[in-house]
Chains A and B, each alone.
Chain A
Amino acid sequence: MAYIESQVKLADGIYSMWIKFPETCSIRKAVPGQFISMYSKDGSRLLPRPISICETDAINNMLRVVYRIAGKGTEEFSHMAAGDGISVIAPLGNGFNINNKGKKALLIGGGIGIPPMLGLSAALKGDVTAVLGYRDGSLFLKEDFTPYAKVYIATEDGSAGVKGNVIDAVKHYGISADIIYACGPLPMLRGVKAFAQENGIEAQVSLEERMACGIGACLGCVCSSKEKDTHTNVNNKRICKDGPVFDAMEIEI
Chain B
Amino acid sequence: MDLSVNFAGIKMKNPVTTASGTFGSGAEYGDFVDLNKLGAVTTKGVSSVPWQGNQTPRICETYGGMLNAIGLQNPGIDLFIERDLAFLKQYDTKIIVNVCGRTIEEYIEVVERLADTSVDMLEINISCPNVKAGGIAFGQNPELARQVADSIKQHARQPVIMKLSPNVTDIAEMARAVEAGGADAVSLVNTFTGMKIDINKRKFALANKTGGLSGPAIKPVALRMVYEAAHAVKIPVLGMGGISCAEDALEFIMAGATMVAVGTANFNNPAVTEEIIDGIKSFMEENGINSVKEITGCVS
A: residues with CB less than 8 A from B are 39, 43-48, 87, 89, 209-223, 231-236, 241
A43-B64 contact given A213-B266, A220-B59, CB 8 Å threshold: yes
Given A87, A214, A216, A236, which contacts B73 in the complex, CB threshold below 8 Å? A236
Q: Is the beta-carbon distance between A223 and B56 smaller than 8 angstroms?
A: yes
How distant is the Cα of A210 from the Cα of B21 in the complex, in angstroms?
16
Q: Is the beta-carbon distance between A232 and B75 smaller than 8 angstroms?
A: yes
19 pairs of residues in contact across A and B, judged by CB atoms under 8 Å: A44-B63, A46-B66, A46-B268, A47-B267, A87-B269, A210-B58, A210-B60, A211-B59, A212-B66, A213-B28, A213-B270, A215-B28, A215-B29, A217-B28, A217-B29, A219-B73, A221-B56, A234-B50, A236-B53
Which 7 pairs show the lowest CB-CB distances between chains A and B? A217-B24, A220-B59, A217-B28, A210-B59, A46-B268, A232-B75, A212-B267
Interface membership of B16, Cβ < 8 A: no
Q: Is the beta-carbon distance between B50 and A232 smaller than 8 angstroms?
A: yes
Interface membership of B70, Cβ < 8 A: yes
| Chain A, interface SS category | loop
Chain A residues within 8 Å of B267, by CB = 46-48, 212-214, 218
How distant is the Cα of A232 from the Cα of B75 in the complex, in angstroms?
4
Q: Is the beta-carbon distance between B59 and A233 smaller than 8 angstroms?
A: no
Q: Is the beta-carbon distance between A219 and B70 smaller than 8 angstroms?
A: yes
Nearest Cβ on chain B to A22's Cβ, whole angstroms: 16
Given A216, A222, A223, A236, which contacts B24 in the complex, CB threshold below 8 Å? A216
A89-B270 contact given A217-B22, A217-B24, CB 8 Å threshold: yes
Q: Is the beta-carbon distance between B68 and A39 smaller than 8 angstroms?
A: no
How distant is the Cα of A220 from the Cα of B205 in the complex, in angstroms?
13
Given A220, A221, A231, which contacts B75 in the complex, CB threshold below 8 Å? A231
Interface centre among A43, A87, A210, A223 (most CB of B within 10 A): A210
